[in-house]
Amino acid sequence: MVSGRKEPTVETLRHSTSHVMAQAVKSLFPDAKFGIGPSIEDGFYYDFELPRALTPEDLTLIMEKMKEIVAADVPFVREEIDRAKAQGLFADQPYKLELINELPDEKMTIYTQGEFTDLCRGPHVKSSGKLKAFKLTNIAGAYWRGDEKRPMLQRIYGVAFETEAELEAHLIRVAEANKRDHRKLGKELDLYSLHEEFGPGLVMWHPKGAMVRQIVEDFWRAEHCRRGYDIVYTPHIAKLDLWKTSGHWDNYRDNLYSPMDIDGQDYIVKPMNCPGHIIIYKTQLRSYRNLPLRMAELGTVYRYERSGVLHGLARVRGFTQDDAHIFCRADQIRDEVANVVDLSQFMMKTFGFNDYKMLLSTRPEKAIGSLPQWEEATQALRNVLEVMDIPYEIDPGEGVFYGPKIDIKLTDALGRMWQGPTIQVDFQLPQRFNVNYVGTDGAEHQVIMIHRTVLGSMERFMACLVEQYAGAFPVWLAPIQVTIIPIADRHIDYANQVAGSLKEMDVRVRVDDRTERMNMKIREAQLEKVPYMFVIGDKEVASNAVSVRLRTGEDLGSVQVSDFIDRVNTIIKEKSCDSL
């Protein structure tokens, strides 16, 4: 059948490990019903229906059983059978039967190792003795076939590698990644907090987090002004009727907060900024000469998210989008989309993100507007990506209800993907709100709207920033750029004097004038990940210098204050992404 010469791939190894795990589960739970058990990145999983909930101790037992199976070195035996035989073989396995009945081919394959037989396309390793390095990591619930209306099975995740050393390295990587988690660093660096008493998913930005955010926002504003955007502000609540007109009430009610009564009228807190911008647009009769009109706002929106999905700053219920709406003519779509793609790439580069993915999301099931309109908009987006020669993937059915979109997904410390920037072409809202311009022919024409963010939201972007730099922000973003450390009280005056000259240059500096030893002050500045520490003692006072220590631990020794201010200023101006 399969020529057995080639070395099995690591995917095959992982897949076989999942079968061995299933075998172990079956020996411990003879009545187990089996779902599916594929290989995934770094490992595998298998879904089971079991008579009781698994405990962490069960994982240990299953692990031991697996080791026995590996020690026994039982062969994986492939066999081709027809549908009828498969139905008989898996008669007591409802999930397998469902799969068997849906397979297009009458012929299918099964693999048997020891007393365990599974429906499986394969391939597999020759025998269980080939498995070398694996570990069961966690238990989770997972709906059968990912459908929330179907039974929830118990999923066991594991990791598997070709060698113990690789497994060990992987576990160390995971432990290191955990240290970068923005939820952990957010607390350690005093950036933000979330509170049960205030409400889940509602963020308190502490002074240091707020400082970083402010720098990001200032940069964002300046760049948008440079690129021809107009900045606006719109209120946080609006009449419900507006959201009925927009289609949100019908299509996304589950994510909207309940209406509140104001003078007998229903209002809701806004889930999006677009209707506000549309209303501003419509305050004047717009000529084709005015287009494109680019209206930008750091707009705070509130959306209901189911309780189980909230995650630090990355998934919250109130957040500020770096939103903008571009009102343009059909012939301007391509240029405008291209400009936004360029801007988002510029942002990613400036903030040092290299690990992101471009996705083109197509029409979802729940959508408004005609198919030809969707096709036209999707084509426009695709064109831009292709002309700009940007690699992308198609994300089928993931568009917004009013139009297709290009998304940029950023990877967090643990490899999870989060949607950041997004660009959406929309023919629907202009139609619903009757948003027009007067053309060269003197007649009214419908505008096209491009919804876009180039960071995503301030909250999620901050989460990604923290994880990207493990909390050691580049100098231009660091909430405190310099900590001045006087060794003894008699050095405080000089320290304040140095701080004064740094402040003149808008350097964010703090003098640690506490009655503590220098070692303690260095340690704390180090833990705060402050880029520069200026140590000041008798020598420095005498020579009008500072002794510079970097957060990398490097000691630059004595430096003239003016020289160093120049150096730091250059680094700040360049927005260098290096840690220093």
Partner RNA sequence: GCCAGCGUAGCUCAGUGGUAGAGCAGUGGUUUCGUAAACCACCGGUCGUCGGUUCAAAUCCGACCGCUGGCUCCA
Which positions are catalytic?
274, 303, 321, 323, 325, 405, 451
Give the whole-angstrom CA distance, residue 259 versus residue 265.
9
Cα(90)–Cα(119) distance, integer angstroms: 9
Expressed in angstroms, the distance from the first to the final Cα of the chain is 58
Residue keyed to tokens 């990791």 = 159
Dig out the tokens for 141 from the structure: 């619930």
In one-letter notation, the amino acid at residue 558 is: S
d(CA 63, CA 27): 12
Q: Does a cis peptide bond (omega within 30 degrees of 0) precede residue 292?
A: yes
Given a contact cutoff of 8 angstroms between Cβ atoms, the answer to whether 392 and 367 are in contact is: no
Long-range contacts of 206-211 (CB under 8 A, 24+ apart): 207/479, 208/479, 208/480, 209/462, 209/479, 211/479, 211/508
Determine the Cα–Cα distance for residues 439 and 446; give it in Å rounded to an integer: 10
Q: How far apart are CA 440 and CA 569, in angstroms?
A: 50
Task: State the angle between helix axes of 561-574 and 492-504 in degrees (0 to 180), rounded to the nearest 10.
Answer: 40
Three-state SS at 85: helix
What's the one-letter identity of residue 188? Answer: E
Q: Which residue has the tokens 């220590």?
A: 549
Whether the Cβ atoms of residue 555 and residue 549 lie closer than 8 Å to each other: yes
C-beta closer to RNA: residue 256 or 326: 256
Distance, CA of 480 to CA of 553 (rounded, Å) = 17
Beta bridge partners of 108: 81
Residue positions counted in the chain: 580
Percent helix, strand, coil in the chain (nearest 5)? Answer: 40, 30, 30
b/e string for 426-445 if b means 16 or more Cβ within 10 A?
bbbbbbbbebbbeeeeeeeb
Q: How many CB atoms lie within 10 A of CB 214?
A: 13
Backbone conformation region of residue 37, classed left if phi is above 0, alpha if psi is from -120 to 50, else beta: beta
Rg (CA), the chain: 29
Closest CA to 182 of 478, 552, 553, 472: 472
Retrieve residue 254's tokens.
């589950």
- Strand-pairing partners, residue 574, are none
How far is 233 from 298, CA to CA, in rounded Å?
8
Tokens coding 122 = 């394969």
| Residue 465, C-beta contacts closer than 8 angstroms, at least 6 positions apart | 212, 216, 351, 473, 477
Helix (H, G, I), strand (E, B) or coil at 436: strand
The Cα 179–Cα 172 span in angstroms is 11
Is 108 or 324 the residue whose CB approaches RNA more closely?
324
Question: Smallest distance, Å, CB 180 to RNA?
Answer: 12
CA torsion sign for 241, 243, 246, 247 is: negative
